[in-house]
Amino acid sequence: MVVVTGQNKVSGDPDDAMSSSDAEDDFQEPATPTATQAGQALPLLPQQFPEVVPLNVGGMYFTTRLSTLRRYEDTMLAAMFSGRHYIPTDAEGRYFIDRDGTYFGDILNFLRSGDLPPRERVRSVYKEAQYYSIGPLLDNLEDIQPLKGEKVRQAFLGLMPYYKDHLERIIEIAKLRAMQRKARFAKLKVCVFKEEMPITPYECPHFNSLRFERSESETKLFEHHCEVDVSFGPWEAVADVYDLLHCIVTDLSARGITVDHQCIGVCDKHLINHYYCKRPIYEFKITWW
């Protein structure tokens, strides 16, 4: 009679068996995380939203329908609440958007019924509409004041490619002078001229002919730089010197800079023969505090 159990015990070396087990442990693959563990690490997608959505926008609370947030497909709000992205919630379960909520009500009113904000909030709502990429709202706001007028103004300023650089120069010069003198304000001279050709009053009737019949060499005789800090011009448009001065003061004031200006004369530099520079010179006073 053959005893199979005895042969099985003899054929297996206990030391060899333990070595084999250790070897298997060395090559064992890590355990796959369970669904519960994965859910704790990352939220499961897609995210489901209720039909009525409570919102916390920078600490301000709103409530709206999900369909309102998805009104226009190509907006950031539609993408955020499409279910493809995870939106965190606050302690009360409101969906949180890390953005100043001051004008978010205006955004919702447009999405709900197409309402536009009052004029005094148009610029601010426009910035929010840019952030949320709401194209229809941007188009509507650009077609009303003050944005419509701003488009016209920018078209005029586009005739002067160094306009913004000149504004920065005015600010920088005024700051340095005030700091050097330990003064509350600083003054600088600014030239604003529309026509490039210098004239004197009695030459006005001949202005057009002289302007177009000049040779290149003759034109160079009239080239010069007025002794000022910053110079704007020339340009070809109906808008005149006072219009550009208004733009300069408006843009400086928008940056919180207090500026006063007054005309203090003309350059009056003699160029050639009976030609003199007649570019107007303005004194700008920048007050810092």
Together in a domain, 125 and 244: no
- Which amino acid, one-letter code, is at 74? D
User: Percent of the chain scored above 70 by pLDDT?
Assistant: 74
Integer Cα distance of 53 and 136 in angstroms: 22
Query: Per the domain annotation, does 14 fall within a domain?
Result: no
More confident residue, 208 or 109: 109
**Are residues 140 and 162 both part of a single domain?**
no
Question: What is the average pLDDT score of the chain?
Answer: 82
Domain boundary among 95, 114, 144: 144
pLDDT score of 219 = 53
pLDDT given at position 213: 52
Examine the domain organization and report whether 172 and 138 are in the same domain. Answer: no
Whether 151 is covered by a domain: the verdict is: no
pLDDT of 43 strictly over 80? no
CA angle 224, 229, 235 (to 5 degrees): 60
Is 10 contained in some domain?
no
Count H helices and E strands in the chain, helices first.
13, 9
139, 163: one domain: no
The whole-angstrom separation of Cα 276 and Cα 279 is: 9
The verdict on 127 and 169 lying in the same domain is no
Same domain? 139 vs 177: no
pLDDT computed for residue 209 by the predictor: 43
* Domain CATH for 123: 3.30.710.10
User: Is there a domain that residue 150 lies in?
Assistant: no
- Strand order across the 52-57 sheet: 60-65, 52-57, 95-97
- Round to whole Å and give the CA distance between 270 and 230: 20
Cα separation, 198 vs 207, in Å, equals 9
Query: Measured between alpha carbons, how far is 75 from 129 in angstroms, rounded to an integer?
Result: 9
Q: What is the mean pLDDT of residues 247-268?
A: 93
Residue 74 in domain: yes
Residue type for position 253: S
Q: Which of 174, 171, 208, 166 is nearest to 191 (CA)?
A: 166
Overall number of domains in the chain: 2
The answer to whether 191 and 280 are in contact (CB under 8 A) is yes
Is residue 31 one of the residues assigned to a domain?
no
Domain edge (last residue) among 144, 170, 191: 144
Do residues 178 and 286 lie in contact, with contact meaning Cβ atoms separated by under 8 Å? yes
3-state class of 183 per DSSP? coil
CB-based contacts of 273: which residues, under 8 Å, 6+ apart?
Answer: none
Same domain, 198 and 175: yes
H helices of the chain, in order, are 4-11, 14-26, 35-41, 66-69, 76-80, 104-113, 122-131, 135-142, 147-157, 163-181, 207-213, 216-221, 241-254
User: Given a cut of 80, is residue 208 above it in pLDDT?
Assistant: no
Does residue 187 sit in the same domain as residue 111? no
Residue 211 has pLDDT above 70, yes or no: no
- What is the residue-wise DSSP string for 126-159? HHHHHHTT-HHHHHHHHTSTTHHHHHHHHHHHTT
pLDDT at res. 42? 52
Rounded Cα gap, residues 163 and 150, in angstroms: 15
CA distance 83 to 47: 5
What's the pLDDT tens digit per position in 131-180?
999 999 999 999 999 999 999 999 999 998 899 999 999 999 999 999 99
Give the residue numbers spanning the domain of 76. 52-144
Strands 95-97 and 52-57: parallel
